[in-house]
A and B are shown apart, each in its own frame.
Chain A
Amino acid sequence: MNAQEQKPFAVVGERLPRYDGADKVTGKAIFGPDVALPGMCYGFILRSPHAHARILSSDTSRAEALPGVYAVVTAADLPPAESADHRYARDNTFASDKVLYVGHAVAAVAARTPAIAEQAARLIAVEYDVLPAVTDVLAAMRDDAPILHDDMRTHSLAGHGDKPSNVASHFQHLKGDPARGFAEADVIVEREFHTATVHQGYIESHATVATWSDDGAPSNGALTIYTTTQGSFSVRDHVVWLLDLPMSNVRVVPTEVGGAFGGKNTSYLDVPAALLARKARRPVKITMPRPDVFLATGPSSGAVFRVKMGATRDGRITAAQAELYYAAGAYPGSPVGSGANVMFGPYVIPNGQIDGYDVVTNGPRVSSYRAPGGTPANFAAETLIDELAEKLGLDPLEFRLRNHAREGDERLDGGTHGHIGGIEVLQAAQTCAHYTAPLTGPNRGRGVAHTAWGNWGGRSSCALNVNGDGTVNLVTSSVDLSGTRTTIAMQAAEALQLPPERIKPSVGDTDNTGYADVSAGSRTTYATGIAAIQAAEDVIAQMRARAAALWDVPVESVAYARGVFASGADLRFTFAELAEQVTGSGGSVGSIANVDVAEWGAGFSTHIADVEVDPETGKVTLLRYTVVQDVGQAVNPAMVEGQMQGGATQGIGWALYEGYAYNEKGQMLNANFLDYKIPTALDVPLIETVIVEVPYPQHPYGVRGVGEPPIVPPPGAIANAIYRAAGIRPDHLPMTPAHLLEKLGVIES
């Protein structure tokens, strides 16, 4: 067989350039902050300087009186809340009775210029009764902790708490008998880990432009919002929910998105901008300054883990137990549930227990961040896995292989593993160029970590319309964060059996596309791709029927292959020829597929890190880094590699540099890119990638989600490498030089 015959796909698997590439390299792409409408004015949000305070009074009159000010809005402009969740969302838009974090929005101003808006906002007099604040998750759980919500009682399936608490909820997974499992173990390891709050760190800030078509009549106004978001429909849902508007009257137009990583799943500026625009009777643009992005948008949880694992001398895990405490920020909703799933995710745990706690703290309410909750949990678990392997004298990959789950194995949460490629990933890691290369030199070490990540399916919509020249317009409602227009169009081209240059993809808005969930959870290429394939199959079916009608032959006799419709020996149309015929008569051909994909393939990823530790300064230098990942089927391998490298680099930042620092008043000390340190080009090596393809059977081409898994293993891999290099096991993220010096006993903690 030659290479051509082996290749199962014509388009899928090719390294095609991006459809939106030229716009991105010429500055033409319109991102959120680039939107400008005629007659637009500018909004500015006044934010709390206190981490926890009661609002005694607020007076907006001086702001309203400033020349050039068009509108001032506060919580009083929002409809009343109808449930606890609704109240949290409402209060997180504008604080009503209490501010719960530094940066909590209190009011907003619209004015002729950004400078006037900011000046006016500073004229709003807010009187606060400052309360004690708590930002640490364990401190927030103490009996004497300041209570954020007087009405909050711990929710648990064991029953509701009977007194106010910052613990919003507690859950437990239990399998087998952990006590018996630990009794059977020959080796038991146990540690506590603390990890800092981190931010997605997208370079594009949040920005929204809101405009009302009828100049602001509140009852029947039609609102249009241009915003940078991961989900136009999720913004619409949020705005409709908080402003009590008919869905049909809110149109959300997503812009290009300058990085999101889960942080733009949540709407922050859309409701304030809509309220201001209604009052100001003109379009309002709000752009969030960088410090506010750190202070007031949802980062990922800081967390504490207590983990214990046991194994027998022959390398079998007998029991595992973990407590996970996640800081949710001001309102409940930390990713502790997915953290629990990641914890021991890849392995068969015969006896296991996980307890998860969602705890409110005086910080911004957390949002999703790429594999939410997974990275710090994996750091904790993979450190113990490494320690077990070391104590058992086993190669760390071999130990993981011995305990790895297979299809049908039961998970700790009670579910079962589907068709997974974790073992193939570990095997590929064992034989890759990096793992088989020797590492020499003082203060150097190699570490590995491995993860499972669930991924997602969800709702997607894709429309295809055939043009008279045989080209096809593809419109999806899935916002394109990093190239999914291209990967979706490639799948449509594959299904249509047309060259990809005949497809022109674009992202629509909520008025002209079907519903889609946020572009998140590694779901877009997977689930929206399924929608594209379904629409393509319907287009082909319609085209075959039209050919059959034109030829007056039974539709069953019309075959379609490689861009040609044929019936019998002499009836033949190319796709373009038939397209010209059908658009010229009988109405054009198009199809829209709306899907809700209920099943999806989990992703597995193994990372290998080589580090050098300066024992005198605690500085860690990454020498070499490899990401091995099962992607099912790479639709565009170059873009898959980019996801693996980019995710790994975010994980490296989480491991070594990034973390919110708070003072005792609950004020964040590093709300800027100077002291919130994301990796620069100098901090990472070239990142090698090994793409493993274990096709996922529920996708026509075998695709699995790709984006999230690679952020998970870096802290574990780097921590394990540091252990090999320096003999210490870091138990804090970020693993700062000071932390390593303390662990080394060089300085006092």
Chain B
Amino acid sequence: MTNKTLVSATVNNEPVEFLCEPQQSLLECLRDILGLTGTKEGCNDGNCGACSVLLDGQLVNSCLVLGVEIEGRAITTVEGLADWRGLHPIQQAFLEADGFQCGFCTPGILIATKALLDRKPNPTEADIRAWLSGNLCRCTGYDKIVRAVQVAACHLNNTCEVDA
């Protein structure tokens, strides 16, 4: 018999309840139980960052968090960035700056970017590179990702020049 646990948590500002087994990672719970497939599995060992989510506002690899651990806690995934007003300024910035190619690492990078800009609204290029070093991207060479984060920062700080 499986020993399933009922977990109550908040995911993208919505209350959720789900049953999971202790060995199921948060990533599996999000994707396979809650149907939130925006969060991706790249390596399942914490080395690629594709599964990045926010746990109580803190950046974590959801493959290295157990689903049972999130009892009473709040998760933000890529699906929780946009709201009824439209895309989040970070998403908008990645569109404007072509900050992705295949788009597979993008959800994790958007989440990591949110975590960065929440704590450091004006990061330097070095800050951005260091912070995103746990999020592998094989397509872009990071150049346009770094620039997209810079555009996102200026969107969020209302410091963008017109027609930048």
Residues of chain A having any CB pair with chain B under 8 Å: 15, 17-18, 20-31, 33-34, 200-205, 256-261, 287, 289-290, 481-483, 638-639, 641-642, 645-650, 672-674, 678-682, 684, 686-687
What would 8 more interface pairs be, CB under 8 Å, given A29-B103, A639-B101, A672-B43? A23-B103, A25-B87, A203-B50, A204-B40, A257-B102, A646-B140, A680-B142, A681-B129
B69 CB within 8 Å of chain A: no
Interface centre among B39, B98, B129 (most CB of A within 10 A): B98
Contact A25/B132 with A203-B105, A256-B103, A646-B140 known, Cβ cut-off 8 Å = no
CB distance from B84 to the nearest CB of A (A): 13
- Residue of A20, A31, A646, A687 with most partner-chain B CB within 10 A: A646
Inter-subunit contact A204/B104 (CB<8 Å):
yes
**Which one of B45, B79, B96 lies within 8 Å of A673 (CB-CB)?**
B45
Q: Given the complex of chains A and B, what is the CA–CA distance between A383 and B144 in angstroms?
A: 30
**Looking at the complex, which one of A24, A201, A202 makes contact with B103 (CB distance below 8 Å)?**
A24
Residue B36 at the A interface, CB < 8 A? yes
Q: Contact size class for B?
A: 35 or more
Query: Please, which residues of chain A bring their CB within 8 A of the CB of B94?
Result: 25
Tell me, in angstroms, the Cα distance from A34 to B82 when the chains sit together: 20
For the complex, what is the distance from the CA of A681 to the CA of B47, rounded to whole Å? Answer: 13
Complex Cα distance, B139 from A290, in Å, reads 18
Query: Given that A672-B45, A673-B45 are known contacts, is A27 also in contact with B77, CB under 8 Å in the complex?
Result: yes
Residues on A with beta carbons closer than 8 Å to the beta carbon of B101: 481-483, 639, 642, 646
Contacts of A25 in B (CB 8 A): 78, 87, 91, 94-95, 100, 103, 106, 110
**A647 CA / B125 CA spacing, docked (Å):** 21
Task: Give the chain B neighbours of A686 by CB distance below 8 A.
Answer: 125, 143, 146
- CB pair B38–A27 under 8 Å, yes or no, is yes
- Contacting residues, chain B, for A202 (C-beta < 8 A): 102, 104, 138
User: With A201-B138, A203-B105 given, is the CB distance from A290 to B133 under 8 Å?
Assistant: no
Known interface pairs A31-B40, A645-B143, A681-B132; A24-B138 also in contact (CB < 8 Å): no
A681 partner residues in chain B, CB cutoff 8 A: 128-130, 132-133, 135, 137, 142, 145-146
Chain A contact residues: helix, strand, loop or mixed: loop
Contact B137 A203 (CB under 8 A): yes
A648: contacting residue among B43, B50, B102, B141, CB under 8 A: B141
- Of all A-B residue pairs in the complex, the 7 with the closest CB atoms, nearest first, are A27-B38, A258-B104, A24-B103, A649-B141, A645-B141, A27-B78, A482-B101
Q: Which of A261, A646, A673 contacts B48 (CB 8 A)?
A: A673
Question: Complex Cα distance A674/B48, Å?
Answer: 9
B81 at the interface (CB under 8 A from A): yes
Closest to B81 in A: A26
Given A31-B104, A673-B45, answer yes or no on A261-B138 (Cβ-Cβ < 8 Å).
yes
Task: Tell me the complex Cα distance, A260–B110, Å.
Answer: 21
- Contact check, A205 vs B103: say whether CB atoms are below 8 A apart: no
In the bound complex, do residue B142 and residue A649 qualify as a contact, i.e. CB atoms below 8 Å apart?
yes
Contact of A482 among B31, B42, B78, B139 (CB under 8 A): B139
Residues of A within 8 A of B104 (CB): 31, 202-204, 256, 258-259
State A399–B81 Cα separation when bound (angstroms): 53
* B107 in the interface (beta carbon within 8 A): yes
| B37 within 8 A of partner (CB) | yes
Instruction: Give the chain A neighbours of B140 by CB distance below 8 A.
Output: 642, 645-646, 649
Quick check: A26 and B40 within 8 Å, CB to CB?
no
> Of the candidates B44, B77, B105, which one forms a contact with A290 in the assembled complex, judged by CB atoms under 8 Å apart?
B44
Instruction: State A636–B100 Cα separation when bound (angstroms).
Output: 14
- State whether A680 and B103 are in contact (beta carbons under 8 Å apart), knowing that A204-B40, A290-B42, A686-B125 are contacts in the complex: no
| Chain B residue with Cβ nearest A686 | B143
Point out the residues of chain A lying under 8 angstroms from B95, CB to CB.
17-18, 21-22, 25
Q: Which residue, B47, B91, B95, B104, has most C-beta atoms of chain A within 10 A?
A: B104
**In this assembly, does B136 line the interface, its C-beta being within 8 Å of a C-beta of chain A?**
yes
Interface bits B100-125 vs A (CB < 8 Å: 1, else 0) = 11111111001000000000000001
User: Is A30's CB under 8 angstroms from B43's CB?
Assistant: no
Counting chain A CB atoms within 10 Å of each CB, which of B95, B105, B106, B139 scores highest?
B139
Asked if A26 meets B135 with Cβ closer than 8 Å, knowing A33-B40, A258-B103, A673-B47, the reply is no
Chain A neighbourhood of B100, CB < 8 A: 21, 24-25
Known: A17-B95, A20-B103. A205 touches B136 (CB 8 A): no
| Nearest Cβ on chain B to A48's Cβ, whole angstroms | 21
B48 touches A258 (CB 8 A): no
In the bound complex, do residue B141 and residue A673 qualify as a contact, i.e. CB atoms below 8 Å apart? no
Q: How far is the CB of B163 from chain A (nearest CB, A)?
A: 13
Please indicate the chain B residues that have their CB under 8 angstroms from the CB of A684 in the complex: 141-143
Q: How many Å from the CB of B22 to the closest CB on chain A? A: 12
Nearest residue (CB) in B for A290 is B43
Residue of A nearest to B41 (CB): A33
State A23–B107 Cα separation when bound (angstroms).
Answer: 10
Whether A259 pairs with B138 at a CB distance below 8 angstroms is yes
